[in-house]
Structure 1
Amino acid sequence: MQSTITMSQKWKQLLYILLPILITQLALSAMTFFDTNMSGHFSPADLAGVAIGVSLWIPVQTGLNGILMAITPIVSQLVGAQRKDKVSYYVIQALWLSLALSMIVLIAGIFLVNPILNGMKLEPRVHNVALYYLCAMAFGVIPLFAYTVLRSFMDALGQTRFTMAITLMSLPINILLNYLLIYGNWGFPRLGGVGSGVATAATYWIIMLVAGITAHRGKNFAEYRIFRKIYGIAASAWKELIHIGVPIGFAIFFETAIFSAVTLLMSNYNTSTIAAHQAAMNFASTLYMLPLSICMALTILVGYETGANRPRDARTYSILGISTAVVLSLITAIVLLIWGEQVARLYSTDPQVIQLTQHFLIYAIFFQISDAIATPTQGALRGYKDVNPAFLLTFLSYWVIGLPVGYMLARWTSWGPYGYWIGLITGLAVGAVLLLWRLMLVQRRFTAKKQHAEAV
């Protein structure tokens, strides 16, 4: 990365960082997309089972990944402040932390997965698919979390095209393994939805190994020599990582978990409704990669500018990122309005599932717009290392407002399952307003701090 002066230079730098991140996120999301899509073409029960499994796994994955993403603002600010010698130390500490988190997840899964699934009113086939899908995914936990650290390190340096290449390479591998293991082609076992879990876990190992080799030997990363010394676990570094990462992780967890909670509440409806809801949610999650990618780019760019003590440039990047996300959300809204039925047909051939999916996609339009404001705003706040208020605001918006509103509308009005989606829209809209207010407050404080320092 480099300092920029003109608006055109900032646009160029933003796009240089953003586009590879976007492609990477779309490719990662595509793994879940193809898991869901290909399972849906196996049977509606397999689609519903994978939907339940994904809904339990995604909040855990994204929340803990959020903790590990603390390495991004740490590295970007170190680079901006010309303290590159500290980078390898923090990356190794984050890798140790990723291993510890993996162990916690695996141990918790042994004791919690079965009781949770048994407490849900699922058809036997749906229950079994969900259970064994999660068992298969467990084998990919360690490499996934390690890859998150390595990817965050490379992205923080502005080298986002490397993680893009790694992820793009892994996508066809994942699709091929799905093809072999879901449908039992070429003599492989016919595992249905469970096969998608096996395929994804295997793919995680591949991307971790490739990322490790790239970070160790790639010429763009050689000066950091992150594996030159394997540091022991340091409590002070873990404390800093956790101090920044836990609020990020909880903020992401609260945002993703509310969608999973809605899916789990949908288990009270029939299999077609569960399948349609998950199909619509899966496509909406794919579109969410747009604001999420901008969020990650802003963390890098704002962190770099704040590390270099340039508040005006950090503010400009925030405005560029958020405005870009809003424009893109309006474009995706048009896509859903015009081609909603075609999107629904991507997930199922069942007429009832297609019709229900199309209805759910209409509601998805509205929370896409709120996401376009809230998500990039969180990215900018992370660049400032202002993470605790965002965590509290997301909890308030999604869990104190959004989910209760959705539950009441679903239970006590004629909207039924659509009531949950209205609740999601309400919570996301409130969150967008509150987070934007917080960002403006932080920017004013940061600017005032610099002006005060210059006056002294």
Structure 2
Amino acid sequence: MHRRRVWPAWARPSDITDLLRLSGPIAVSRAAMMLMGLTDVIVLGQNAPSELPFVLNSWLPIGVSLGLTMGLLLGVSVLTAELSGIGRGAETGRIFRRGMKFSLWFGALLTVGVVLLVGPMFTLLGFEADIASGTTAVSRILAYGLIGHMITHVAGSYLEALRRPLVVTAMMYFGVVVNLIIDLAVVAGWWGMPKMGAEGVAIATTGTRWFLVILFLIAVWKFTPAFRSSPDGPPGEARRQFSVGYGMAVSNVAEWGGFNFTFVVATWISTAATTVYGMAVHVIGFCFMAFLGLGTATSVRVAEAYGRKNSEQVREASRLGVVATVLIGLVLGLVVWVFRAPIAGVLVKSDAVVDGVTIRPELLPIIGFTAFVLVFDGLQNVASMALRAQNVIWPPTTVHLMSYFLIMIPATYYFGLVRGGGAIGMMQGVLLASVIAGALQLVLLERKAARRLKPTRRPA
């Protein structure tokens, strides 16, 4: 009897199309979030590059706070996708409302904590008085936008899980325009406004975030059942909604905290090293948005298959995400390598000097080096998100803790400060940690994908 040939998911057009249809808008949307930060760096780099360390170091408390909460809110996306995958999307309003309540009370706690503690923290880290003072001021302004970040994250995740990514994309890019206008006004001093430097960047970020809150809540009200009555969930659903994100919360603290602490290490080297290294990390971060889109789309497809208890679809959705990550990572790496000079030109003026160092020549080689980081950074993200979408929580978290705390921070300190490698030495430490994280997450995914489900037969 002739059997129809069954292609693996990474070679099956229908699966590839579905992944791209979902991940493309999400990646573009996530790129908007990073584009806001990149816009800040460009405008500040062109006008007051010596104040860039204030913004970079402020993301140690702010980034850790956001990473923690985004992890704890992962359940909004996962549970919504599971219910939608079995035809019960109309019941998901309770998932959204739980996420909103959490954002309000937990965001308020984080805001108070950051405002009160950042001053003593940066003094204890040994910063010079002017750097500590500038970073503290920026951190406090950014803290007032934490609740806004959390609300837009809940709303955006909910819309994407219900397969409304284009709505999120449109609003995020409107936010990019608003952020740029505020940057030009209070950082570049356009339209007769005062040049406020790094504090102007923080004002733009916080103001834009609260503007987006209004847009996102209107979109959720119009396009989803978020504010409609829904039946009570099964016992334990509320606990699971937050527990599914525990591992990602710890991972985010490790990855975001680790990366942001490397800015502290760079500051110990010199203000110039911080500026050059920070600009290069923003190039990685902008490219990373493609992988965040792939990871989010992969986790939605995996969660849908997991909700249907289909082990074969779980494995194939996971592997398709990995194959797509490798291919896109290679393309992005090639683009960054080839266009490293124009990228450096956009980030900083050719004659910009920080701490007695001309920045542009120092920036060129480190931007080229980031090309080697991209594939591995993408792999660790997509593989770990695919694992969590099927309730494999703590193994990927352990990998993140080991890679970004136990390896990356000491490696950047050693190569950058002890060995005197400066910014390029620090990027070598980032590459080492990314290679280890990407390889280990991939091994975990292959060993554990769909192991908790009984295997299903392939169609004849």
The verdict on a shared fold, with TM-score over 0.5 as the criterion, is yes
Q: Is the CA contact 2:259–2:404 (under 8 Å) kept in the aligned structure 1?
A: no
Gaps of 5+ in 1: none
Cα deviation, residue 285, structure 1: 0.7
**Where does residue 217 of structure 1 map in the other structure?**
222
Q: 1:96 to 1:343 in 2, by over 3 A?
A: same
**Where does residue 250 of structure 1 map in the other structure?**
250
Cα deviation, residue 215, structure 1: 1.0
SS in 2 for 1:134: helix
Question: d(CA) in 2 for partners of 1:305 and 1:187?
Answer: 56
Q: Is the CA contact 2:115–2:140 (under 8 Å) kept in the aligned structure 1?
A: no
User: For 1:229-254, what per-residue CA distance to the aligned partner results, in whole angstroms no more than 9, with x for missing partners?
Assistant: 5999x995552232111211211221
**Where does residue 38 of structure 1 map in the other structure?**
43
**Where does residue 430 of structure 1 map in the other structure?**
436
Q: 1:294 to 1:442 in 2, by over 3 A?
A: same
**Where does residue 7 of structure 1 map in the other structure?**
12
**Where does residue 402 of structure 1 map in the other structure?**
408
**Where does residue 104 of structure 1 map in the other structure?**
109
Counterpart mapping for 1:161-240 below 5 A: 161-218=166-223, 221=224, 224=225, 226-229=226-229, 237-240=237-240
Between 1:19-28 and 1:413-422, the stretch displaced more is: 413-422
* Identity within the alignment, %: 18
**Where does residue 6 of structure 2 map in the other structure?**
none
1:278 aligns with 2:278: yes
1:369 aligns with 2:372: no
Counterpart mapping for 1:219-368 below 5 A: 221=224, 224=225, 226-229=226-229, 237-349=237-349, 350=352, 352-368=358-374
1:94 aligns with 2:96: no
SS in 2 for 1:346: helix
Counterpart mapping for 1:104-183 below 5 A: 104-183=109-188
Between 1:5-14 and 1:34-43, the stretch displaced more is: 5-14
Question: d(CA) in 2 for partners of 1:355 and 1:238?
Answer: 53
1:20 aligns with 2:22: no
Cα deviation, residue 189, structure 1: 3.4
SS in 2 for 1:129: helix
Cα deviation, residue 433, structure 1: 1.7
Cα deviation, residue 381, structure 1: 1.1
Counterpart mapping for 1:60-79 below 5 A: 60-79=65-84
CA RMSD of aligned residues (A): 2.5
Q: Is the CA contact 1:37–1:47 (under 8 Å) kept in the aligned structure 2?
A: no
Match of 1:385 among 380, 387, 391: 391
Question: d(CA) in 2 for partners of 1:137 and 1:401?
Answer: 29
Question: d(CA) in 1 for partners of 2:126 and 2:364?
Answer: 25
Q: Is the CA contact 2:61–2:114 (under 8 Å) kept in the aligned structure 1?
A: no
Question: d(CA) in 1 for partners of 2:41 and 2:141?
Answer: 15
SS in 2 for 1:41: helix
User: For 1:408-436, what per-residue CA distance to the aligned partner results, in whole angstroms no more than 9, with x for missing partners?
Assistant: 33344243443332222222211112211
Question: d(CA) in 2 for partners of 1:136 and 1:239?
Answer: 33
Match of 1:421 among 421, 424, 427: 427
Q: Is the CA contact 2:115–2:139 (under 8 Å) kept in the aligned structure 1?
A: no
Question: d(CA) in 1 for partners of 2:189 and 2:26?
Answer: 33
Cα deviation, residue 444, structure 1: 5.1
Q: Is the CA contact 2:119–2:136 (under 8 Å) kept in the aligned structure 1?
A: yes
Q: Is the CA contact 1:336–1:362 (under 8 Å) kept in the aligned structure 2?
A: yes
AA at the equivalent of 1:295 = G
Question: d(CA) in 1 for partners of 2:339 and 2:374?
Answer: 16
Cα deviation, residue 28, structure 1: 0.6
Cα deviation, residue 124, structure 1: 4.8
Q: 1:84 to 1:332 in 2, by over 3 A?
A: closer
Cα deviation, residue 125, structure 1: 4.5
After TM superposition, the score normalised by the length of structure 1 is 0.91
Between 1:371-380 and 1:309-318, the stretch displaced more is: 309-318
AA at the equivalent of 1:337 = W
Between 1:403-412 and 1:344-353, the stretch displaced more is: 403-412
Q: Is the CA contact 2:91–2:230 (under 8 Å) kept in the aligned structure 1?
A: no
After TM superposition, the score normalised by the length of structure 2 is 0.90
Q: Is the CA contact 1:181–1:188 (under 8 Å) kept in the aligned structure 2?
A: yes
Whose helix proportion is higher, 1 or 2?
1
AA at the equivalent of 1:147 = T
User: For 1:251-287, what per-residue CA distance to the aligned partner results, in whole angstroms no more than 9, with x for missing partners?
Assistant: 1221122111111111112221111111111111101
AA at the equivalent of 2:75 = A
Q: 1:263 to 1:82 in 2, by over 3 A?
A: same
AA at the equivalent of 1:214 = A
Question: d(CA) in 2 for partners of 1:180 and 1:228?
Answer: 41
Q: 1:38 to 1:262 in 2, by over 3 A?
A: same
User: For 1:304-338, what per-residue CA distance to the aligned partner results, in whole angstroms no more than 9, with x for missing partners?
Assistant: 11112222222222222211111121122222322
Q: 1:425 to 1:189 in 2, by over 3 A?
A: same
